[in-house]
Amino acid sequence: DVKVTQSSRYLVKRTGEKVFLECVQDMDHENMFWYRQDPGLGLRLIYFSYDVKMKEKGDIPEGYSVSREKKERFSLILESASTNQTSMYLCASLPGTITYNNEQFFGPGTRLTVL
Amino acid sequence: QKEVEQNSGPLSVPEGAIASLNCTYSDRGSQSFFWYRQYSGKSPELIMFIYSNGDKEDGRFTAQLNKASQYVSLLIRDSQPSDSATYLCAGEGAGSYQLTFGKGTKLSVIP
């Protein structure tokens, strides 16, 4: 079974802090994604990575950066946290071969509160 | 801007009835479509995917795709209280790994 883990289930930070959210997958997947999920707005893609050291902006990259130094790990960085970044953050991974069934496997999520 | 639209609900159905969840999409280039189920406080899990026009059945679940109308649906037969969750529809463009998600439909199955 694919396992995607996230470093924290709940996180509380203060405005202006630098925040690191970590995601690790154990299935040697090439592709990894960071989403945020907000009531009424659904799942929105922040960044994704299709290989080590490669990254692409998603729909809402502003205020975020990412790092992928190793294949299994994809980090989301909030350089200076703001209250509007309070959200549920979900990481997902996907094998590299494009098929019609590109199932993304999700981690358990990190609920971040910025005070 | 690629969009996937779903009615937010809540959709309430009695136990044993058929629940019908609907989704429309704007990107005609979208190839595959996915239905994820998300229980409250949990992460999404894949129920079904479909990429060909027509119906695809898996147990109590049937996904339907009509590319001409840009319409995807999920039918849940013999609905159970354990089916109560938010259902997310997602579309994937050709040759792309990116999914565009709808906002989800909340389903409540009443015992």
- The pLDDT score that the predictor gives to residue A101 is 67
Determine the average pLDDT of the residues in B20-30: 92
pLDDT tens-digit readout, A74-112: 999 999 999 999 999 999 998 866 566 677 899 999 999
Decide if B91 touches A, using CB distance below 8 A.
no
Residues of A in contact with B98 (CB under 8 A): 45, 48, 58
**Euclidean distance between the first and the last CA atom of chain B, given in angstroms as a whole number:** 40
Residue B53 and residue B40: Cα distance in Å, rounded?
31
User: Residues B61, B78: contact at Cβ < 8 Å?
Assistant: no
- What are residue A90's phi and psi, to 5 degrees? -120, 135
Nearest to B25 by CA among B46, B44, B51, B45: B51
Task: Return all residues near A21 (Cβ < 8 A) that are at least 6 apart.
Answer: A6, A7, A8, A11, A34, A75, A76, A77, A78, A89, A91, A110, A112
For residue B90, the Cα-to-chain-centroid distance in whole angstroms is 7
Contact between A94 and B43 using a beta-carbon 8 Å cutoff: no
- The pLDDT score that the predictor gives to residue B25 is 93
Work out whether strand A110-114 and strand A10-13 pair parallel, antiparallel, or are unpaired.
Answer: parallel
The minimal CB distance from A90 to the residues B43, B46, B90 is found for B43
Contact between A108 and B31 using a beta-carbon 8 Å cutoff: no
pLDDT tens-digit readout, B44-95: 999 999 988 999 999 999 999 999 999 999 999 999 999 999 999 999 876 6
Contact between B45 and A106 using a beta-carbon 8 Å cutoff: yes
- The pLDDT score that the predictor gives to residue A23 is 97
pLDDT tens-digit readout, A29-84: 889 999 999 988 889 999 999 989 899 999 999 999 999 999 999 999 999 999 99
CA angle B31, B35, B39 (to 5 degrees): 155
Q: How is residue A85 annotated by DSSP?
A: G
How many angstroms away from the CA of A76 is the closest CA of chain B?
17
- The pLDDT score that the predictor gives to residue A68 is 96
